[in-house]
Structure 1
Amino acid sequence: MISRKDFRAIDKSIDELKKITSNELFSEFLGELEHCDENAQTQKILEMNVIIDEMEEEEFESVFTKEMFNKMEEMIKEEKLSMGNAIFLLKHVGYCIVLKDMRVLGFAYSSLSERIKEMIIEEEKKNEEKNEKRLVDLCECYLLLNRWASEELLSTYMPCLLKVALNKEESEEVQKKVEMALLALNNIGFQKMDKELYLNEIKEIIQYHQKHRNMTRLAYLFAWELLTNRFYCDNSLEDVIVNELQFARESAREVKELTRCVDWKTKEEENEKRRKETKEEIILMRWLDTVDYFFILCTLWNEGFAEIIGSIAQLVRASKANHRGIHNQFICAFANAAGCNSVNIGAFLKEGAADLILEELQQPTLEDEAMCDCLRFFMNISERLKDEEKDEMEEAKRKATKRKVFEKMEEEGYEDTITTFNETVYFIREKYHFRLSLNISDYFANG
């Protein structure tokens, strides 16, 4: 991909380009491709990729419509756009869509989607004569751009792309290919599939990285997402995820390292206008989603869970001033973790999570959704401490923890703070979370 500096050298200046909508600009470039030879097309697509990198979700939705993809399919049919260059462009579009978790649906209903699906089927039929690289490119295009990948192709693109992802060579070029393959496979979502299609391979990928640290951060994240998304349909994977592959330890390590990579201290004027998220911030948000989802489903206890709580606490403190999006999502993760019986309540005290939630509740500008998550945190803690049958702690230990939680709340003036929300709980419950209790006493651990 060319740099911004190189892009400024094209005929029109960046200032002039900004006056044109992304839709118009992209359509203009696409039209110009018809009059270029293959090499010139490649160069033009590099310039288009720079524009794509700058697009927001609304722009993606307006540019990459069914009509746009149909136009590309027509250009391929009329030999005005080479298939190789079409794949080059489509993979970059798909990469951005999946990385930023956007819902861009135009491709799924286009004739280009059908063409690529048919090409995958035809290439697979060739057996020994099939072009492996071409099949990989086609599968990646189809998966990256299609949120509802055809189930009939599972047995084709799973082994095809896992083979790419299993490449252990540490060169930058190879690891970019590994990243792209895992990114594409991850777009399958929660689709159910037989373990034989993926489990041994994805375990090997994760375990090799744990030993050698050969993959990019993004590739490693998507390897985990591919596995944890299967957990939704197959709870027999829990032991593999929790104990064999040590999800808690690994996710805590990744969150800690990414927290150190992000420059949280932005200039005051930059805070007034939402700055673009860095790749590290995007990966952090994705790890959040994975950890949060894991807490909701997990039933097995693991000592590493305290590490996750601790790493999230560090991140919450780091992001509080300058990245409320990350900050608020991790507050939500605490609330979900508090309701997970496999996470020891003592970890919330030891790792500083309870302190952070108490601090948050006392903020005069607390947002409604953040308030809801803070209340859920203490409601979940209270429910677990009051319910002796569901709480697996020994009675003496349970009472000791309950006393510590109560003392912490008392020190911070929690009771007075929570009482002030009495009039707003009904509104918060109706708008954000139906399980939020309307009884204020349910948020105290001294019952």
Structure 2
Amino acid sequence: MNETTEYMNEKEFKSIFMGKLFNKIDKMIGEKNLPMENAILEMKSAGRCKALKRILLCGFEKISLGERIEKMIVEENLKKKEEKNEKFLVDLCECYISLRTGFPPELLLICVPCLLKAASDKEETEEIHKDVEMALFALCCIEENQIFEQKQYLKEMLKIIKIQQEHHNLMRLTYQSAWMRLINKFFWDKSVEDMIVNELHFPREAEREQEESKKVMIIRRWLSTIKFFISLCQLRNEEFVELIGEIVQVFRVAKDNYREIHSKCIYSLREAAAVKAVEIEDLLNGGAFDAVLEEFQRQTLNDDIAHDSLIFLMNVSNRLKEEDDDEKEEVKRKATKRKPLEKMEEEGYEDRITSLYGEISFINERYNNNFSLNISEYFVNI
């Protein structure tokens, strides 16, 4: 089933599972023609596919199988401790959360603690390790605004990431999902930011994961996490230059064959150019300026890439226009300005950017932007 779902698009997935397979599974369970453990495997496979491909699967709770699973979760949870099958309850919660969109609070109050406990199991056996993977993956499927905010949740997620950093025993997909969930937390709670940046070293971890991963899907998901992190981050960290360098490397490799990844990279760079946590020197030393200017040298320039590249240049320019009362910082700023300007003069980028007058007009019209038609605005202050 895992192999089959890998190649399904959203329309095929909904047609097969919502229209046929889920009803058939429910009927076979009711008639005792399908062992519950086999049904659970089928549902977990479908839930994994839904999460990986970000399929919006509305209405699972309204079909007979969804109603059956919800009822079984409540019944199993109500059993006395000596009668309760914890493993079975975890399996039911994983199926329910990975397949449903939107969760009633009363079910989350059962499922989240149950899955947290399973995801925090430190026993070093292959079977337990697989259980940890699936429980953590299910937890990361819950929308952020539906997680009831409790310190225990954050505490356990931090433990899981620290264990992975020590032992590297999580799948890359699960590890990325855990990071995305944690970064979502500091969108609502800024106190988590210092922990993510300076204690858990997200920039360093993200750079390493991008470098080591060979699967397009994983790289794409890490780039989404990085983009979100950069747009929120306010804390300076010296590891940013390595992270920028890795984004640039992926940007160059993806430019001919992987448009979505290529686009995610330039978007991350434009966001990095706007936030003070990333210094202009980080962009220069990480190769971001070179990568963006190389795009302007291509004979055919993708509209989306051109749009985000211009935003990158304007963000850098605006950053360097800022006045600083500190004389030492102003001297440093002037020295920084000279580096990209000299590069542009040496390699002829100024002429290429000057030739973009018509393209800027088109981009303004298409994206409803107001990029300056005064070409010197893009480099005179750099």
| Equivalent residue, structure 1, for 2:262 | 327
Write the deviation string for residues 183-219 of structure 1: whole angstroms up to 9, x where unpaired.
1111113225323241111111111221222222222
1:130–1:438 distance in 2 versus 1, CA, 3 Å? farther
1:393–1:67 distance in 2 versus 1, CA, 3 Å? farther
| Amino acid aligned to 1:205 | I
| Equivalent residue, structure 1, for 2:70 | 117
The SS at the match of 2:357 is coil
**Residues 143, 188 of structure 1: 8 Å contact kept:** yes
The 2-side partners of 1:109 and 1:375 are apart by: 48
The 1-side partners of 2:155 and 2:284 are apart by: 38
Residue 64 (structure 1) aligned to one of 3, 10, 17: 17
Q: Could you tell me how far 1:53 is from its partner in structure 2? A: 2.9
Q: Quick one: percent identity of the two aligned structures?
A: 49
| Amino acid aligned to 1:98 | A
| Equivalent residue, structure 2, for 1:218 | 173
Q: Could you tell me how far 1:291 is from its partner in structure 2? A: 0.4
- 1:437 is the counterpart of 2:367: no
The 2-side partners of 1:102 and 1:160 are apart by: 25
The 2-side partners of 1:182 and 1:329 are apart by: 26
**Residues 324, 330 of structure 2: 8 Å contact kept:** no
1:184–1:442 distance in 2 versus 1, CA, 3 Å? farther
Residue 420 (structure 1) aligned to one of 316, 330, 355: 355
The 2-side partners of 1:250 and 1:196 are apart by: 24
| Equivalent residue, structure 2, for 1:247 | 202
Write the deviation string for residues 150-176 of structure 1: whole angstroms up to 9, x where unpaired.
333333222211222222344443332
* Structure 1, 223-232 or 89-98: larger mean CA deviation: 223-232
| Amino acid aligned to 1:96 | C
| Equivalent residue, structure 2, for 1:132 | 86
| Equivalent residue, structure 2, for 1:179 | 133
Residue 192 (structure 2) aligned to one of 237, 240, 259: 237
| Equivalent residue, structure 2, for 1:376 | 311
| Amino acid aligned to 2:298 | Q
Q: Could you tell me how far 1:353 is from its partner in structure 2? A: 1.3
The 2-side partners of 1:113 and 1:145 are apart by: 9
The 2-side partners of 1:130 and 1:235 are apart by: 39
Alignment of 1:327-366 (within 5 A): 327-366=262-301
Q: Could you tell me how far 1:337 is from its partner in structure 2? A: 1.2
| Equivalent residue, structure 2, for 1:156 | 110
**Residues 218, 283 of structure 1: 8 Å contact kept:** yes
The 1-side partners of 2:330 and 2:256 are apart by: 40
5+ residue gaps, structure 1: 1-47, 263-279
| Equivalent residue, structure 2, for 1:296 | 231
- The aligned length equals 379
- 1:105 is the counterpart of 2:58: yes
Write the deviation string for residues 373-416 of structure 1: whole angstroms up to 9, x where unpaired.
11111111111111226999811111111121222233333333
TM-score by length of 1: 0.78
Write the deviation string for residues 115-159 of structure 1: whole angstroms up to 9, x where unpaired.
322322222222413211111111111111123233333332222
The 1-side partners of 2:253 and 2:112 are apart by: 39
Q: Could you tell me how far 1:345 is from its partner in structure 2? A: 0.8
* Structure 1, 76-85 or 328-337: larger mean CA deviation: 76-85
| Amino acid aligned to 2:60 | F
The SS at the match of 1:343 is coil
The 1-side partners of 2:75 and 2:11 are apart by: 35
* Structure 1, 187-196 or 351-360: larger mean CA deviation: 187-196
**Residues 248, 288 of structure 2: 8 Å contact kept:** yes
Write the deviation string for residues 234-274 of structure 1: whole angstroms up to 9, x where unpaired.
2221112111211111111111112xxx3xxxxxxxxxxxx
**Residues 251, 266 of structure 2: 8 Å contact kept:** yes
Write the deviation string for residues 342-385 of structure 1: whole angstroms up to 9, x where unpaired.
00111111121111111112212221111111111111111111
Write the deviation string for residues 51-102 of structure 1: whole angstroms up to 9, x where unpaired.
2233233321332336653454344334444433221101001112212333
The 2-side partners of 1:80 and 1:69 are apart by: 14
* Structure 1, 341-350 or 57-66: larger mean CA deviation: 57-66
- 1:76 is the counterpart of 2:10: no
Residue 399 (structure 1) aligned to one of 334, 338, 360: 334
Compute the RMSD of aligned alpha carbons.
2.6
**Residues 164, 177 of structure 1: 8 Å contact kept:** yes
**Residues 313, 378 of structure 2: 8 Å contact kept:** yes
| Equivalent residue, structure 1, for 2:120 | 166
1:423–1:160 distance in 2 versus 1, CA, 3 Å? same
**Residues 87, 141 of structure 1: 8 Å contact kept:** yes
The 1-side partners of 2:206 and 2:195 are apart by: 15
The 2-side partners of 1:147 and 1:363 are apart by: 43
**Residues 133, 171 of structure 2: 8 Å contact kept:** yes
Residue 251 (structure 2) aligned to one of 289, 293, 316: 316
TM-score by length of 2: 0.90
Which portions of structure 1, spanning 4 or more consecutive aligned residues, are displaced by more than 6 angstroms? 390-393
The SS at the match of 1:198 is helix
The 2-side partners of 1:74 and 1:132 are apart by: 25
- 1:387 is the counterpart of 2:322: yes
**Residues 363, 369 of structure 2: 8 Å contact kept:** no
Alignment of 1:264-279 (within 5 A): none
- 1:228 is the counterpart of 2:168: no
5+ residue gaps, structure 2: none
Q: Could you tell me how far 1:442 is from its partner in structure 2? A: 4.0
Q: Could you tell me how far 1:436 is from its partner in structure 2? A: 5.7
The SS at the match of 1:215 is coil
